[in-house]
Structure 1
Amino acid sequence: MSSQSSPKSPRIDGRRLRSERTKQLIIEAFLALVREDPKVPTAVQIAGRAGYSVRSIFERFPDLNALRVAAADYALAQAAALAPARHVDGDRQTRLRSQVDTRAHTCERGVALWRVLMDSQEESDELKARVRRAREVTMARLELMYKPELSVLPTDERRDLLVALEALTDIESWARMREQHGLPFEEASDVWVFAIDRLLPPTPANG
């Protein structure tokens, strides 16, 4: 008997690929519905948008919470891919504009899902973890982009300033500027640039 294992059946591989594609389309349908109405959509609504049966959803996700978690992971990965750090070594104004522009576009795309996560996180430790991870990613980006200015501060002050900057550039902060105050995208971005610039200490001569 040959010691080599037999190759996988093309039928099995094709079935797996179709299943993964169906899973992705269900996630995309969930996200599309959330963007239209920031409430957790029903299984019937998701199935209708995706073009599959309700049974297809629960064949791939044990419950709607698992689908929310998968959608959060998908959106976080997509946000990371669409928002690489740029101009990290630029001058102060270049870094300010770059960081704010990247963050503003991330918030513009993600506010609807963020509200669903915030409303649902008390029901799920997994969703709480995704919310926490998203904030940690934002903090890490702020620390990277404003490293020269933060480097002049004592540890405690640096931490406090990062906390303040993360709160300032929270998704809901962006949504309030856009929705409640009616600011156009560029004007809202200018508000963030102005506020961050005021909060940061002077840039060191070698920064």
Structure 2
Amino acid sequence: MVDTAAEVPSVDGRRARRARNRAAVVDAVFALIEEDEATPTVEAIAARAGVSVSSIFRYFESLDDLHQQTIEHHFARVAPLFEVPEIGEGPLDERLARYVDARLDLYEAIAPVARVARARALDAPAIARSLALARAQMAGQARTHLAPELAARTPARADDLVALVDTLTSFEAWDLLASVHGRTRAQVRRAWLTALTSLTA
């Protein structure tokens, strides 16, 4: 006779252990990315998480799946930073300052994972879709935040302005300014505010 009462805790224990190990693997990937901003090897991930290499492929379908889970988990952690405070409210100069500060806070928080996401998106359709959704969301925020200025333009000119603002303040633009040109946060903020003020005048 099977003791079903004894089986249930055993099954629950395995599930809990699996969930803990999956979380440990995701945390390991994130920690390794933060340390050297590169895609870590599966051996390094296993060592950091305290699991075997083979177990990683029991928890995740592939390395692409693991990277996608890590990216999504990290972005979920910093979800509030994707929002623009008091979106669309107040005079233009205050709106521009809030918009720029929100973008800078976000990019500084997500930089290592965002770089990996963009690299992996080239051959990982799921990651590419996630990035496309995030980019569409951010362009929509620019449109909402600058609604009064856009309303004074023709639809074509309004679309031009949204595209320019979104591109100018994109992660890619920030990364180029910070990593290649060595601009500090204060310098990027000043440059962006100057450019946005000119564009929206």
TM-score of Structure 1 vs Structure 2, range by shorter chain = 0.7 to 0.9
Q: Separation in 1 of the partners of 2:181 and 2:133?
A: 29
Preserved CA contact (<8 Å) 1:101 1:189: yes
- Paired residues for 1:13-162 under 5 Å: 13-88=12-87, 89-162=89-162
Q: 1:100 to 1:13 in 2, by over 3 A?
A: farther
Offset, 1:10: 4.7
Preserved CA contact (<8 Å) 2:81 2:105: no
Offset, 1:161: 1.6
Aligned partner of 1:107: which letter? Y
Aligned partner of 1:45: which letter? A
Q: How many residues align?
A: 195
The runs of at least 4 consecutive aligned structure 1 residues that moved more than 6 Å come to none
* Partner-residue secondary structure (3-state), 1:123: coil
Q: Separation in 2 of the partners of 1:190 and 1:109?
A: 20
With the length of structure 1 as denominator, give the TM-score of the two structures.
0.83
Q: 1:159 to 1:115 in 2, by over 3 A?
A: same
**Which consecutive residues of structure 1, in runs of 5 or more, have no partner in the other structure?**
1-5, 202-207
What is the percent sequence identity of the aligned residues? Answer: 28
With the length of structure 2 as denominator, give the TM-score of the two structures.
0.85
> 1:3-25 CA deviation, whole Å, 9 max, x = no partner?
xxx9x945544443442232222
Q: 1:12 to 1:164 in 2, by over 3 A?
A: same
Offset, 1:104: 0.7
Q: Separation in 1 of the partners of 2:36 and 2:70?
A: 15
Q: Separation in 2 of the partners of 1:19 and 1:168?
A: 43
Offset, 1:97: 1.3
Structure 1 window deviating more from structure 2 (179-188 vs 128-137): it is 179-188
CA-atom RMSD in angstroms:
2.2
Q: 1:76 to 1:151 in 2, by over 3 A?
A: farther
Q: Separation in 2 of the partners of 1:17 and 1:152?
A: 57
